[in-house]
Structure 1
Amino acid sequence: MIEIKELYKKFGKNEVLSGLNLDIEQGGIFAVLGPNGSGKTTLIKCLLGMVIPNKGEISVMGKNIKSDSSYRHKIDYLPQIANFPNNLKVRELITMIKDLRGKVQLDQELISLFKLEPYLDKKLGNLSGGTKQKVNLVLTFMFDSPLIILDEPTSGLDPISLLRLKKLIQSEKAKGKTILITSHIMSFVEEISDQIVFLLEGKIYFKGSITELKDKTNQPDFEHAIASILTDNHA
């Protein structure tokens, strides 16, 4: 599904990605983790074509993204912060995105799932952060793409909406989709992920299951395993 070879990216003198190599198989939920500054956001933006690497190759669904940008139409992306036009109503925004991308079948189903009916005619600038995140999720999942990238998807969600999101992600996985997630909520990551991709100083430090990570770090639980990596590498 995704193949990355020797990826380098510098911002000025700061090398954010330094020879990163990563293969992501088709199907399953992959959590991309790492401390602040480890390169998570840069990696995702390189995948999306929003940041151009200095060196290296990225292939998505068998196509080198440098020579073919059509792959982007097969990715659904949830940004960490959605900057919506404040004066637009929720219904107007959903309609606009549908007109831009087309082939939508799931918008009404998702509006019902996240109980957004009372907000459809409200302006986005008047919504709470949690409600904006629900709108963000509707816009992401209403397209039937094989690759889904979710950057901090739990942000601002109440417990019931979080449960609905977990079920939604699992149902997308059951369709054979590949889902990449970044999150600082370790309990969410542990519950939902098939594999962990841990970045450290611009490289892949670990890729595998949570059980394998606990074995590697000799720790009894996931949070202590993550803490162990960070402690060992900042001692």
Structure 2
Amino acid sequence: MITVEHLHKSFGNHTVLHDISFTMNSGSVTAVLGPNGSGKTTFMKCLLGLVRPQKGSITINGIHANGNGAYRSMLGYMPQIARFPENLTANEVFDMVRDIRGITETTENNLIDFFELREHCNKPLRSLSGGSRQKVSAVAALMFSPQVLLLDEPTAGLDPITSGRLKDYVLEQKQKGTTVVLTSHILSEVEELADHIIYLLDGTVYYNGTLTQLKATTGESTLERALASLLLTARATGVLN
């Protein structure tokens, strides 16, 4: 479980996150959505410990994240574009990540076969396609069976078969009690995976509820139309210019 309480973050005079509070439950997929500049990236960096908020707190499975790096051992992170040394092979990346984590019991062999990556594991990353690199990123994020999984545009660059397998895996981990945080511009993907939506506007939480509630509130049948309705309401009420 992730608990966010009264989080504030500014860069100079520019406020990026303003007093945001919410809970992300274990055994759920929470999608953090919003237009560009809404604070999504900064929030994800706060979760990862890459950015420190000026005020407020983040608690992950009972451990305060602010200034305490111990919680990171619970995290698996799959970025939109992973940056590993280009001269390393996939197997060397997995060995490196294992050494950094200090964990010997991993599931990468099963994941390598699951994502059909075996034939590429001894090739330098520089020689791999974007889709194969994304598979390497997926294995590196998932091989430790993390309690909390952070997914930033996870299917970017993946072919339809691998994309489907990754989504099936995420749903399987959700059933096992993993806390999953998802950001994606592919709304059909969000609709398929997420059961909870947090929508940020100008650094504040504009909507916090289930996908079902969002559709019911807006009277729309799809997430895309429901979000469009939210934005139209925000514009009409002066929340969004």
Check whether TM > 0.5: yes
d(CA) in 1 for partners of 2:100, 2:29: 28
Partner of 1:22: 22
SS in 2 for 1:207: strand
| 1:28–1:178 Cα contact (<8 Å) kept | yes
- Report how far residue 104 of structure 1 moved: 3.3
Amino acid at match of 1:66: N
Partner of 1:84: 84
SS in 1 for 2:88: coil
Identity %: 45
SS in 1 for 2:226: helix
- Report how far residue 162 of structure 1 moved: 0.8
| 1:21–1:203 Cα contact (<8 Å) kept | no
- Report how far residue 67 of structure 1 moved: 5.2
Query: Any unmatched runs of 5+ in structure 2?
Result: 237-241
SS in 2 for 1:136: helix
| 2:52–2:66 Cα contact (<8 Å) kept | no
Amino acid at match of 2:117: L
Query: In the alignment, is residue 191 of structure 1 matched against residue 192 of structure 2?
Result: yes
Partner of 1:224: 225
| 2:17–2:203 Cα contact (<8 Å) kept | yes
Partner of 1:34: 34
Matches within 5 A, 1:1-235: 1-66=1-66, 68-101=68-101, 102-234=103-235
Instruction: Using structure 1 for the length normalisation, give the TM-score.
Output: 0.95
Instruction: Using structure 2 for the length normalisation, give the TM-score.
Output: 0.93
| 1:103–1:143 Cα contact (<8 Å) kept | no
d(CA) in 2 for partners of 1:107, 1:27: 22
The Cα offsets for residues 177-227 of structure 1, whole Å up to 9 and x where unpaired, read as 111111111111101111111111111111222221012222232110111
d(CA) in 2 for partners of 1:206, 1:80: 24
- Report how far residue 55 of structure 1 moved: 1.2
Cα RMSD over matched residues?
1.3
SS in 1 for 2:91: helix
- Report how far residue 105 of structure 1 moved: 2.4
The Cα offsets for residues 3-49 of structure 1, whole Å up to 9 and x where unpaired, read as 11111111122211011111112221111111111111111111121
